[in-house]
Structure 1
């Protein structure tokens, strides 16, 4: 175990990163705040994890807060939740072992939620972890939450019938990606998976075969939401979740509406992040992004306390951005979602060709095609700025418009013929056409081959696929390089299909670095992930970083307390309230 290099400040290990944090626009021309320096911390002082959450200035109890969204939420079953909408909604009805304090300005602190702290590394080797369950947390029927219900929630995530959620804990506990065959939940419903024990009602213990230093982050995901075994309705749980949070589902109309009202057994003194301001939250599904945005812009009736969940559509950006009266009702924020031109390294094996692709890209032209700075911000790193420890660099400086001369110099008279696989959606076709133009200006010959939009992700996850280039995006599950670089670039994970390593990049020295860094405590990892990010790009150029998505949201005049999550890049609801 290496000496921990981080300094404890104010009861927290501090890890500094540059983060383009969210900005509520209160006047003047809307701007994306790209210069703010943000901090991410793992709280070490139990007082940081104590409730109640600080009151939100100007907030009051009462009213109905409405969220308008075109498509339904995939799952409200916590163990199956993995969409952004779900990850932002489930915290209202389910608590997890840890959670994030997020001030909406990029300042993050990982604290205990169901647990009193973010966990204890028992032997200081990241292999054995214990969490002390806080007293006073209750389910919606009034019974207390204990370690057994948390353990049962984790156990049910092994059920292949309940697939769809994160799989970190399952894979780590049985030390294999084939977790559902390594331990059979259906045959062991009264027991816990290997490595997970409950020594008493208030202690949850994890024992791993190898170091899992990012466990405090991983247990912030809904996999650790508690559930009594007698309330498990299997695949139907998402229709009527059993609440441990400040709200409970009182009406569920599939694809139409979800109504959540106050859980009278929630105790604010046990909760470090949530509030219970509105009488109810209503999710209303169906309105297109244009229709939802126009409704909250009109600001009539119930829509005064509504949020249009989907970003402001391209057709309305100019109108919303140009209306000074709407600026107090918009939020503009870069997100942690990073977009790359992925290079299939199994096909494009010449490093100089991959470097030339990086020099050729016209990022400013691409941002204009996407809709401008209200939609995207250029990026030159593998990890987005929202990542703890992020460091800005540009391994292939080409200016905002690309450097075709340098690209041609690297190609040395060659004119590589590359196939760009593009989804047949209108937006991706526009982007592919823009990329084709500026790459051909730099000496490439590009053929665009269309892929059905609903099949593209599955197809590029197949090794041996027939494309040299394709567009890819990634949003990490927590803001650490551990949930980005090894996931996307560890060549040992490449299999016939289902690959997250879409670049099919495999370098033994880089793989060894993944193993080394993952054994370090998070306080030491962040700087080294940033260094490895730069090393991968300089030595291998496996992809071309393109841009970070920007969230541009509009809400009614009485909708308060909304900010963009620094972790997931979607609207956070924990501070939401209805203004008088």
Structure 2
């Protein structure tokens, strides 16, 4: 019998013990935690899930907060939301079963949002879960939010016409990746998918065929946003989503602008994370990242209370870094986005060759090509340091610039000829050229073959693709190894096309270990994922970890409350306010 986890102070079950962050000064008076360790807890005391959220020091109500972005948000329909920008815009107008309290420094608490707690694992086997819904949560028309509308929101995510969002809940309830073949939403609009039920208006129940211990995490995604059936406009919902959050959409001009204004029926006493400081949020689309950054840097008129959503473009990094007057208007933070040189294990079958690739990499040179430490930070693990339970290690210690002699020793006089598939974008071509020179100094012969940028993602996901190496990145849906290692390294998931396991790594012993850890309570998984991370690298070296993206943002002088989400790596808006 597994011992119960100890309860930490404040009524939260600790998932991991946080290690001290490692900070690095950029030489320009700006410090970034390049090896931040995440602290994660799941709240057990219902008080942690109640509101109001603590006041933001110095914040005042009023003003218009503007976000400038080149491209529109793909979907405002919560059940179709899956982009970073969508995931961070949605909390303004939608609430979910659970959500993260996030201080922007890696300290996270999973709390109930629509629910009173992050869920009740009824039989302690992760197969039956219940959520009690809060009183006092209302839609923008004043109607109360009940379990019925939350269940309907989840049910509509089974509709293949509404694809685009995460599919965890659908696959888990159907116990089948092809969930829409198990339950047809169109034919059962008044019913619910198998395993989902609402015993009463305040109870939502999930019953799974297999243990789904990560349900509280998956429930924090927008697919659990509520919707009354009479407000479901299908594929048009994204033009006018129906609000349960502090703001509601009052203007939607496709590709140009989205305006959100206060929802008078939002009750701060029910909300543990959000505020309602600005009178309105305005998303404006069109300006290039350079143009948006330059507008914010100029700090004129309405742009004083504007945020450039995209990271500072490489073309402007040196200018922003060198301007002392901008220092108070920049944010520098590591992100959860991990980048790897993926090795096609179906083609590169010799472990010593894969190990030699790991020894050969010049990470310092790679970071310089990318634009420096304001853009990227080196990593040597499969999971980024933002992952709960992460443990630092270097299976193939080669310093910052590679250990070429060790790589040559492993190759034993061979000169492996490898094909590096690279997108034809300017940045990836620069990176590929750097990698080619780096690896050839270690004894490899590298041929770069270009892939159209807009086709690369689909092409490398094909099992029989013709490349030995390619660059790829992954950002988890929640900061747990459960949304990283099983997705990327479970060989049983490999199919002809559409693979997330882009290394085509398949080891039966590792697959068994993945299943074992997934069946553990989330409170026990963190250290186990860290151990497995190191084991996979030491025993198999299926990829070469390269770097994590670093968020470098600039905003106007009247912008307050912005921090980089510890979960998604882009600006969180829950504390946003306009300074007087």
In which range does the TM-score fall when normalised by the shorter chain? over 0.9
Q: CA deviation at 1:19?
A: 8.2
Q: Give structure 2 stretches of 5+ with no counterpart.
A: none
Residue number in structure 2 paired with 1:309: 309
SS in structure 2 of the partner of residue 216 of structure 1: helix
Could you tell me how far 1:146 is from its partner in structure 2? 0.2
Aligned position for 2:114: 114
CA contact (8 A) 1:299 1:556 kept: yes
Deviation string for 1:12-58 (max 9, x for gaps)? Answer: 11123458699999x96112123555411100111111100000000
Deviation at 1:3, TM superposition (A): 2.1
The CA deviation at 1:432 is 0.3
Measured after TM superposition, the shift of residue 361 of structure 1 is 0.3
Alignment of 1:401-440 (within 5 A): 401-440=401-440
Residue 575 of structure 1 is matched in structure 2 by 575
Change in Cα spacing, 1:212 to 1:253, as seen in structure 2 (3 Å) is: same
Match of 1:230, SS? helix
The 10-residue stretch of structure 1 (14-23 or 37-46) with the greater mean CA deviation from structure 2: 14-23
Where does 1:314-353 land on structure 2 (aligned, <5 Å)? 314-353=314-353
Q: 1:258 to 1:195 in 2, by over 3 A?
A: same
Q: Distance in 2 between matches of 1:386 and 1:16?
A: 13
1:365 aligns with: 365
Alpha-carbon RMSD across the aligned residues, in angstroms, is: 1.5
- The answer to whether 1:59 aligns with 2:59 is yes
8 Å CA contact 2:25–2:32 kept in 1: the answer is: no
Alignment correspondent of 1:529: 529
Q: Output one character per residue of 1:356-392: Cα deviation in whole Å (capped at 9) or x when no partner.
A: 0000000000000000000000000000000000000
Q: Cα distance 1:159–1:64, how it changes in 2: closer, same or farther (>3 A)?
A: same
Match in the other structure for 1:185:
185
State how far apart, in whole Å, the 1-side matches of 2:36 and 2:566 are.
Answer: 12
Counterpart mapping for 1:128-139 below 5 A:
128-139=128-139
Counting only pairs closer than 5 Å after superposition, residues 41-440 of structure 1 correspond to structure 2 as: 41-440=41-440
Partner residue of 1:502?
502
Residue 467 of structure 1: SS of its match in structure 2?
coil
SS in 2 for 1:248: strand
Deviations 1:297-342 (A, max 9, x none): 1100000000000100111111111111111000000100000000
Contact map agreement 1:421 1:469 (CA 8 A) in 2: yes
Q: TM-score, normalised by structure 1?
A: 0.98
Does the C-alpha gap of structure 1 residues 193 and 22 become closer, same or farther in structure 2, counting only changes over 3 Å?
Answer: farther
Q: Matches of 2:428 and 2:389 in 1, distance apart?
A: 31
| CA distance in structure 1 between the partners assigned to 2:4 and 2:452 by the alignment | 49
Deviation at 1:8, TM superposition (A): 3.0
Structure 1 residue 180: Cα displacement: 1.0
CA separation in 1, counterparts of 2:130 and 2:487?
26
CA contact (8 A) 2:262 2:279 kept: yes
Change (3 A) 1:457 1:192: same
User: Contact 1:21–1:106 (CA<8 Å) still a contact in 2?
Assistant: no
Cα distance in 1 for residues equivalent to 2:440 and 2:222: 46
Note the C-alpha offset of 1:105: 1.4
- Name whichever of 31-40 and 217-226 sits farther off: 31-40
Distance 2:6 2:521 in 1: 10
| 1:369-420 deviation line (CA, Å, top 9, x unaligned) | 0000000000000000000000000000001000111001000010000000
In structure 2, how many angstroms separate the alpha carbons of the residues matched to 1:6 and 1:543?
Answer: 36
Distance 1:46 1:514, change over 3 A: same
Q: Distance in 1 between matches of 2:122 and 2:446?
A: 55
Give the match's secondary structure for 1:109: strand
User: For 1:274 and 1:205, how far apart are their aligned partners in 2?
Assistant: 26
Distance 1:277 1:464 in 2: 52
Q: Give, in whole Å, the separation in 2 of the partners of 1:19 and 1:504.
A: 35
Number of equivalenced pairs: 579
Q: Displacement, 1:106?
A: 1.2
Distance verdict in 2 for CA 1:408–1:21, change over 3 Å: closer
Cα 1:353–1:81 change in 2 (3 A) is: same
Does the 8 Å contact 1:23/1:105 carry over to 2?
Answer: no
Q: Contact 1:22–1:105 at 8 Å: present in 2 too?
A: no
Contact preservation (8 Å) 1:17, 1:391:
no
Contact 2:37 2:390 in 1 (8 A): no
Q: Compute the displacement of 1:501 (Å).
A: 0.1
- Residue 32 of structure 2 corresponds to 32
Corresponding position of 1:16: 17
Per the alignment, in what secondary structure is the counterpart of residue 32 of structure 2?
Answer: coil
Please say if residues 127 and 212 of structure 1, whose CA atoms lie closer than 8 Å, have aligned partners that are also in contact: yes
In structure 1, stretches of 5+ residues that fail to align are none
Structure 2 SS opposite 1:16: coil
